Amino acid sequence: MLSKVKSNSPIFPRYSLVILATCSGCIFGEVAPVLAAPNNNLSVKQSHQERTLQESDTPMSQVTSVSQLRDVEPTDWANRALQNLVERYGCIVGYPDRTYRGNQALSRYEFAAGLNACLNQIEGLIASSEAVAQEDIETIQRLTQDFGAELAALGGRVDNVESRAAFLEDHQFSTTTNLRGQMIWSIDDTFGDLAGGEALRDRVGDGGNDTQTRFAYRIRLNLESSFTGQDLFRTRLQVGNFGALAPLTGTNMVRLNYDDNSKNQVQIPHLWYLTPITTNLTLRVGPVGVGYTDLVGTLTPPTIADDSLGIPSKFGEYNPVYRRGGGGAGINWQIIDNVELSLGYLAGDANNAQEGSGLFNGTYHALAQLAWRGEGGAIGFAYSRSYFPAGRTNLMSDTGSFLAIQPFGENIATSGDFYTLQGFYQITPNFQIHAWGGYVNARAHGSGFSNFFDGTQDVSTQFVNDDDRADIWYGAVGFTFLDVGGEGNLAGILLGIPPVVTNSDVRDEPDNAYHIETFYRFQLNDYISITPGFWAVINPENDSSNATQWVGHLRTSFNF
């Protein structure tokens, strides 16, 4: 008997609800013929699964006429029953696509819900003194009695859902917070004799390569919230254990773009907020860990400028001018379609109240960028001014030689005016080219003896005059091939000249270094990719007496 069927099992098509709710004197024992009704050719299991997938989150709307249901024909066996329920009691609902889906399976709980809707309609009619057929009242009474347990259970389930929803609303962190995670595992090693000039090699002996193959990681968790639907607030948690390579190789030119080291301690290195001010003005602001990349686009293909999915070297990822960081703000002005002017200011010691620090009296970076973006490409000019107090200078953000990073040594305050051009163009759906370059005019602020480094050792002390100048140049061009060997895969080649001091009142560099890199990203699925890569730095530290440095790595990325 049907009374023995489990209450959550699909027992008959939706048309059965119509028959049971309208026929006089029908009882559950008489439902069997309905189960064999014409057109009921869907298996219970299949139709229940389809209903679960298609209907669980789909709201239904009230039907006022059977003609509104486009999948119910006048010749259908349940058409008259449907018409009676719609016209007499108005308790039949359809789906937003104007279908009834009468052949889909129905569980006893769903039947109870439909029955409850009809009961409510009839109670309303009785309360308003509307006429209700006596035979229908008798049928409803029998159905109510037979389905009393299901109706009670359904009410309990609704109460439970409401209680749980209220609890979640009271205790949730935010209704609009999303978690975005990134995990990088890397196996890497360097090859080639220690860079650093004859004096350093003489002190350390044979100058051989001391690096060992290492296995390290970095994890980022971004909590991203929106308060208006148009703004974005990001809080980042980060932890990693990459050690520094420069002490072992004698140069920063071998650095990976993701080799941040927090010594396995969880940090909050980034807080950032974006909000539109008007239809063409956007504000971006944050007290810590904000970089130029958070204020403007790098005008580099997003397939390249990504720590976990793009090119792996620090120098090759994008123009070094964008590697400025601290606390501050920026504004983007959409002047006309495709043309944007961006202005930004960052302070490297914004949270420090000591003399020579703070928002305006310590390290700072000011940016102006004019960019054009069109279909398949972009190009832009950027100007940046950076200032570093004595002892804090890192003009090229660890992407060039030690002299380019500190053109006036360690003990002299330094400023730099950057003039850069960058852009990219997708020539075909599977091939794109990008390039960037820059000139830096560095200036000494103060005078005195300053220590100059080669590798990790003091090699000389030299006197620097106030307002001494130095010229620094750099550039790169890259070629990337999309979907090579499969959808989502990416192959790339990059050729570049790392920052080099070409003319200086203090000291020049004798040669140019050359950066040659290739990589291939194999996309396993939407979340996991594996990227083998290899690059060489010829004439590291811009000195041809240094042996070529080779870097090999295997990166596994998890993005979710």
- Give every CB contact of residue 123 below 8 A, 6+ residues apart in sequence: none
**CA dist list (Å): 408 to 244, 288, 366:** 23, 28, 21
Q: Which of 446, 458, 439 is nearest to 408 (CA)?
A: 446
Does residue 250 carry a pLDDT above 90? no
Does residue 281 carry a pLDDT above 90? yes
Please tell me the distance from the alpha carbon of residue 155 to that of residue 281, in angstroms, as a whole number. Answer: 51
The per-residue pLDDT for 469 is: 97
In terms of Cβ atoms closer than 10 Å to its own Cβ (0-12, 13-18, 19+), residue 53 is: exposed
The per-residue pLDDT for 127 is: 65
167 neighbors 183 (Cβ within 8 angstroms): no
Domains and CATH numbers, the chain: 2-171 (no CATH), 178-212+219-445+460-559 (2.40.160.10)
| pLDDT tens string 287-319 | 999 999 999 999 999 889 999 999 999 999 999
CA-CA-CA-CA torsion sign (5, 11, 17, 23): negative
Residue whose entry in the numeric block shows the structure tokens 């006089």: 24
Does residue 508 carry a pLDDT above 50? yes
pLDDT top residue among 29 and 433: 433
Question: Greatest CA separation found in the chain?
Answer: 110
CA-CA-CA-CA torsion sign (335, 338, 343, 346): positive
Please tell me the distance from the alpha carbon of residue 469 to that of residue 467, in angstroms, as a whole number. Answer: 6
Q: Which of 467, 315, 324 is nearest to 382 (CA)?
A: 324
Q: Which of 473, 465, 452 is nearest to 505 (CA)?
A: 465
The per-residue pLDDT for 170 is: 66
The per-residue pLDDT for 5 is: 39
Lowest mean pLDDT among 5-19, 397-411, 444-458, 540-554: 5-19
Please tell me the distance from the alpha carbon of residue 549 to that of residue 211, in angstroms, as a whole number. Answer: 12
Q: What percent of the chain has pLDDT over 70?
A: 81
Strands (E), 54-133: 61-62, 93-94, 105-107
Three-point CA angle 372, 375, 378, nearest 5°: 35
Confidence of residue 3 (pLDDT cuts 50, 70, 90): very low
Radius of gyration of the chain (CA): 35
